[in-house]
């Protein structure tokens, strides 16, 4: 199995980090970062594109040298230049990058001044107060650093869902290809579609466990075989993802799947219910004394408990058991319910494809509409649109809508919310658009009161429709900014505005808990991909996973509606 796009992007980001720590040419650093961003946003694997004969230099930011690097990585799984660079750098220095508030430049400064090359060294200098000698290292940053060191020491590595997915899919197909395998299912937090997973739990029903276990440990991405036993084998893959393979009997399959899917809190509640009846539930079945009552399927297990079947995404002990008792479980939204994408970018700003290409790709997905929401002028790094260019784009979209049949292109904008809460475009232009997304792209460190006031004020603009990526988090890289999300919910209700659930796998913003809270407060959402190229429209799947974890139903979303219904809802 070749490296995934996320893994290749990680290699290029590591290369950029190392070069920046070393003090190399900033243009070289930027080239690797731009390439990583392009690769991360691709909706198809680089390996498929290469095998299909695509010239990778046609991708934004991918020149001949980087194309050669990608080919090397796909063939060998490594990038020789990065490996050589790591040998030049002090061991452990790269681990400091996990600390929020420390970028490559500050890490270089810490190393040059104090010789810091480990978390322990960093904590020691921060606690001693010596760190204050460096310009820009004030009390708030030091507090953040110490907190980050603690978290880094406690936390085991977790993998974003989209990073784990190619391995889960490939392993499932690999195991199913062997004779005698009856059923294979990936359980655990992966099956519950959590945004990150710690490891993969795979259950298998097979006629010959010993043979399948042997095939499993021979999988070509295995780095280390941890154990190989009579009912369970464990391996570590080359990207450090742990995978457990478990042998399950046919009559116990449902109980085992329920047990290993979790969550722990959900399972404990079900076991307590069973205990109240004098029964026992474990991974082997449902029992009354020595008598087996069931366990071959999950539906049977839930039926025995007097419950409707509970979808894996809901199993977090957030009221799903009580809802199942009273037949009040939500009818969760499905990918096929989506009628259009309300957040996409084109090559007018930082996107990688024309508006026409984006529309045609959306049409192939069966969508009725797609909103083009390029950045406003304040976001200069994204070549944001000023009034003149936005009006030119509006005219182009009007012309395209006359020519392209079967899909409607909505005229939109991802408009910066400025520090004072005003929008980065005058109303005279905003009123010409079909949809306006407001977004925070800078000043993330404002106090909760200031950030909330800023966002709420922006939502009061009559042309504001949807708050994009509402908390600003980047999974594993940037925490959410401090904001009173419940005050935002209230503003949505009073102003007639909506919240986005951003489907970019590194964002998934808002999270599942906030999505459920928004639904309960009567706030409607849109699930949109924030796509920068046609292939990234497929990220909708990840947004739907998150929505389902938040109990979201079809009627809770804007972009499950017909075009006519959508326009009525967007009208302030």
C-alpha span between 287 and 451 (Å, rounded): 54
Distances (CA, A) of 258 to 142, 187, 312, 417, 517: 44, 8, 9, 45, 26
Please state, in angstroms and as integers, the Cα–Cα distance from residue 71 to each residue in 38, 48, 170, 548, following that order: 16, 12, 21, 38
Which CATH number describes the domain made up of 5-154?
Answer: 1.10.150.110
The predicted pLDDT at position 182 comes to 96
Lowest-confidence segment of 144-158, 273-287, 316-330, 433-447 by average pLDDT = 144-158
Q: Is the peptide bond before 441 cis (omega within 30 degrees of 0)?
A: no
Helix, strand, or coil (residue 124): helix
Quick check: 90 pLDDT over 90? no
Strands 199-206, 242-247: pairing kind: parallel
DSSP secondary-structure letter at 422? -
Going from the C-alpha of 301 to that of each of 17, 220, 292, 317, the distances in angstroms are 50, 37, 11, 17
Q: Assess whether pLDDT exceeds 70 at residue 1.
A: no
- Sign of the torsion formed by the C-alpha atoms of 542, 545, 551 and 557: positive
For the cut 70, the answer to whether the pLDDT of residue 156 exceeds it is no
| Amino acid 471: pLDDT | 96
Higher pLDDT, 308 or 96: 308
Residue intervals of the chain classified under CATH 3.30.460.10 are 159-247
C-alpha closest to that of 414 among 453, 375, 362 = 375
- Res. 190: pLDDT tops 70: yes
154, pLDDT greater than 70:
no
Closest C-alpha among 240, 237, 217, 219 to residue 227:
217
Q: Domain 159-247 belongs to what topology?
A: Beta Polymerase; domain 2 (3.30.460)
Strands (E), 320-421: 340-344, 369-372, 408-416
pLDDT digits (tens, 9 = 90+) for 94-138: 777 777 777 788 888 888 888 887 888 888 888 888 888 888 888
Tokens describing residue 376? 């406003």
10-54 per-position pLDDT tens digit: 899 889 988 888 888 888 888 998 888 888 777 678 888 888 888
b/e code 484-494 from CB counts within 10 Å (16+ = b)? bbeebbebbee
Whether 296 contacts 251, CB under 8 Å = yes
Q: Which CATH architecture has domain 335-570?
A: Alpha-Beta Barrel (3.20)
Contact (Cβ atoms closer than 8 angstroms) between residue 235 and residue 221: no
- Quick one: tokens of 535? 């292939």
User: Which token pair is 137?
Assistant: 């290292």
In angstroms, the CA 316 to CA 364 distance is 36
Buried b (16+ CB within 10 A) or exposed e, 143-159: ebbeebbeebeeeeebb
Cβ neighbours of residue 180 under 8 Å, at least 6 residues apart? 206, 207, 208, 211, 212
Indicate where the chain has its CATH 1.10.150.110 domain(s): 5-154
Looking at the predicted structure, is the pLDDT value of residue 333 above 90?
yes
Does pLDDT of 475 surpass 90?
A: no
Lowest mean pLDDT among 73-87, 180-194, 494-508: 73-87
Residues 531, 358 contacting (CB under 8 angstroms): yes
Question: Tens digits of per-residue pLDDT, 250-301?
Answer: 999 999 999 999 999 999 999 999 999 999 999 999 999 999 999 999 999 9
Share above pLDDT 90 across residues of the chain, in percent, rounded to a whole number: 69
- CATH fold of the domain at 253-325: Beta Polymerase; domain 3 (3.30.210)
Interacting residues of 261 by C-beta distance below 8 A, sequence separation 6+: 187, 188, 191, 192, 312, 315
- CA distance linking residue 520 with residue 451, whole number of Å: 23
Residue spans in the chain of domains classed CATH 3.30.210.10: 253-325
SS3 143: helix
Ramachandran quadrant class, 235 (left: phi over 0; alpha: psi -120 to 50; beta: rest): beta
As a whole number, mean pLDDT of residues 231-240 equals 90
**Confidence at residue 337, expressed as pLDDT on a 0 to 100 scale:** 98
- Average pLDDT, integer, range 135-163: 78
pLDDT in tens, 363-389: 999 999 999 999 999 988 778 999 999
Average pLDDT along the chain: 92
- Whether the Cβ atoms of residue 410 and residue 435 lie closer than 8 Å to each other: yes
Which of the four pLDDT bands, split at 50, 70 and 90, describes residue 410?
A: very high
- Ordered alpha helix ranges (H), 89-233: 104-114, 119-128, 139-154, 161-176, 188-191, 209-217
Q: Which of 4-8, 490-494, 535-539 has the lowest mean pLDDT?
A: 4-8
What is the pLDDT at residue 151?
Answer: 59
């Amino acid at each position: 199995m070749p490296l995934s796009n996320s893994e290749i992007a990680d290699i290029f980001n590591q290369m950029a980090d190392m070069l920046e720590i070393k003090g190399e040419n900033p243009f070289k650093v930027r080239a690797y970062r731009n390439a990583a961003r392009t690769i991360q946003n691709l909706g198809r694997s680089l390996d498929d594109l290469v095998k299909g004969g695509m010239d990778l230099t046609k991708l934004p930011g991918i020149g001949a040298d980087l194309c050669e690097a990608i080919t090397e990585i796909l063939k060998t799984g490594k990038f020789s230049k990065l490996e050589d660079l790591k040998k030049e750098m002090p061991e452990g220095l790269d681990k400091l990058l996990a600390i929020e508030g420390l970028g490559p430049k500050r890490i270089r400064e810490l190393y040059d001044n104090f010789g810091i090359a480990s978390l322990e060294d960093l904590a020691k200098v921060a606690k001693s107060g010596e760190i204050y000698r460096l310009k820009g290292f004030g009390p708030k940053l030091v507090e953040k650093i110490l907190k980050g060191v603690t978290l880094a020491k406690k936390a085991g590595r977790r993998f974003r869902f989209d990073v784990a997915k190619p391995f889960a899919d490939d392993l499932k197909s690999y195991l199913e290809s062997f004779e005698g395998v009856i059923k294979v299912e990936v359980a655990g937090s992966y099956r519950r579609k959590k945004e990150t997973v710690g490891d993969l739990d795979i259950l298998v029903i097979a006629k010959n466990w010993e043979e399948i276990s042997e095939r499993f440990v021979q999988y070509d991405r295995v780095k280390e075989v941890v154990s190989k036993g009579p009912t369970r084998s464990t391996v570590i893959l080359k990207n450090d993802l742990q995978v457990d393979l478990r042998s399950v009997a046919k009559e116990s399959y449902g109980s085992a799947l329920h047990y290993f899917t979790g969550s722990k809190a959900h399972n404990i509640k079900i076991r307590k219910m069973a205990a109240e009846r004098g029964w026992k539930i474990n991974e082997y079945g449902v029992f009354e004394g020595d008598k087996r009552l069931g366990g071959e399927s999950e539906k049977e297990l839930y039926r025995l408990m007097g419950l409707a079947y509970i979808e894996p995404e809901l199993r977090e002990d957030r009221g799903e058991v009580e809802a199942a008792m009273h037949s009040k479980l939500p009818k969760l939204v499905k990918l096929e319910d989506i009628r259009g994408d309300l957040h996409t970018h084109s090559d007018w700003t930082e996107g990688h494809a024309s508006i026409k290409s984006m529309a045609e790709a959306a049409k192939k997905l069966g969508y009725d509409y797609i909103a083009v929401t390029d950045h406003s002028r304040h976001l200069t790094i994204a070549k944001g649109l000023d009034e003149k260019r936005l009006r030119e784009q509006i005219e182009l979209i009007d012309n395209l809508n006359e020519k392209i049949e079967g899909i409607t292109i909505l005229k939109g904008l991802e408009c910066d919310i400025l520090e004072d809460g005003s929008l980065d475009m005058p109303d005279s232009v905003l009123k010409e658009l079909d949809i306006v997304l407001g977004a925070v792209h800078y000043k993330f460190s404002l106090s909760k009161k200031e950030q909330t006031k800023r966002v709420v004020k922006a939502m009061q603009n009559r042309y504001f429709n949807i708050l994009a990526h509402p908390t600003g988090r980047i999974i594993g890289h940037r925490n959410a900014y401090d904001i009173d999300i419940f005050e935002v919910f209230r503003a949505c209700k009073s102003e007639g505005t909506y919240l986005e659930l951003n489907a970019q796998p590194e964002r998934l913003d808002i999270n599942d808990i906030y999505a459920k809270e928004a639904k309960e407060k009567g706030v409607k959402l849109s699930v949109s991909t924030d796509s920068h190229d046609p292939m990234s429209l497929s990220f909708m799947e990840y947004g739907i996973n998150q929505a389902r974890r938040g109990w979201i139903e079809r009627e809770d979303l804007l972009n499950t509606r017909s075009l006519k219904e959508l326009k009525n809802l967007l009208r302030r």
